[in-house]
Amino acid sequence: MRYLVFAANWKMNIGPLEARYYLRSFLDAGPLPAGREVWFFPPAVSLEAVAQSIKSREQLLVGAQDIYWEPKGPYTGAISGPLASQAGARAVLVGHSERRHVFGETDEQTGKKMAAASAADLQPVLCVGETLEQREAGQTLAVVTRQLEAAFAGRPRSGRVTVAYEPVWAIGTGRNATPRDAAEVHTAIRAWMGAHKVGETRVLYGGSVNLKNAAELLAEPEIDGVLVGGASLDPHTWAELVRTGAT
Ligand code: PEP
């Protein structure tokens, strides 16, 4: 059976109370098709509400959008892996394009966060992807390879790892990569991960995925699932999207 992951990145939306309503509507849509997992990445303040709402349902998981690499201390405004874990997180996004391009996170910092995720027993979802300028200059694979090298530099190479290929030019723009373009990068990611013995790897695609283009993207065998921002904010749309193409 083919396994697919549908990851919802709520970004800076949906507080704890809204999260409880959201999950109620989402769960009311009925059981998930077999072979599918749905991961929620709410803002930190809503982690616990989501964790409590999904309880220990096997196909559902909650994760943090970001962590700082130190486990605790005087880092105002940050949350650590152990704190996210205490709130119910089992995974964490690392190096999301908005962390890199809005908050100036470097490749080296992404590497430290990968190590911190491992230390806190959080499954990392490493986000990689090129800007439009880099794509047009033919640098896509070089950029993605550099990001992988930095991310895995200090991390124990075992356990399950998920990589999300998210071209920066496709995030929140309404312009998605074609399944073929995504597949080319996914193949290169898998080859790099295999050559560096990183462990069991899943490669998701992210960037303007919606109800109209999800089926076409998911039909590509190189795509193990999707990471979705805008189209995950409404529980009814998201409930429909996670059933895309299921029989
Ligand atoms: C994201 O935030 O990771 C993302 C892919 O956003 P959107 O689906 O809105 O492009």
DSSP line for the chain = ---EEEEEE--S---HHHHHHHHHHHHHT-PPPTTEEEEEE--GGGHHHHHHHHTT-TTEEEEES--BSSSSSS-TT--BHHHHHHTT--EEEES-HHHHHTS---HHHHHHHHHHHHHTTPEEEEEE---HHHHHTT-HHHHHHHHHHHHHTTS-S-S-EEEEE--GGGTTSS-PPPHHHHHHHHHHHHHHHHHTT--SEEEEEESS--TTTHHHHHTSTT--EEEESGGGSSHHHHHHHTTTT--
Q: Is-contact 92 64, C-beta < 8 A?
A: yes
User: Which residue's alpha carbon is nearest to atom 4 within ligand 1?
Assistant: 229
Q: What is the pLDDT of residue 200?
A: 78
Query: What is the pLDDT, as a whole number, of residue 31?
Result: 94
Residue 53: the pLDDT is 97
pTM: 0.96
Pocket-forming residues, ligand 1, beta carbon under 6 Å: 9, 11, 166, 171-172, 206-209, 227-231
What confidence score (pLDDT) does residue 174 get? 93
Ligand 1 atom at shortest distance from the alpha carbon of 206: 5
CA-nearest residue, atom 1 of ligand 1: 229
166: annotated active-site residue: yes
What is the Cα 205 distance to its own chain's centre? 9
| 48 given a catalytic annotation | no
Which atom of ligand 1 sits closest to the CA of residue 97? 3
Residue of 98, 105, 130, 166 marked catalytic:
166
Q: What is the pLDDT along the chain (247 residues), one digit of tens a residue?
A: 889 999 999 999 999 999 999 999 999 999 999 999 999 999 999 999 999 999 878 999 999 999 999 999 999 999 999 999 999 999 999 999 999 999 999 999 999 999 999 999 999 999 999 999 999 999 999 999 999 999 998 765 567 889 999 999 999 999 999 999 999 999 999 999 989 878 778 999 999 999 999 999 999 999 999 999 999 999 999 999 999 988 7
Phi, psi of 54 (to 5 degrees): -90, -10
Active-site annotation holder among 48, 96, 130, 216:
96
170 Cα nearest atom in ligand 1: 10
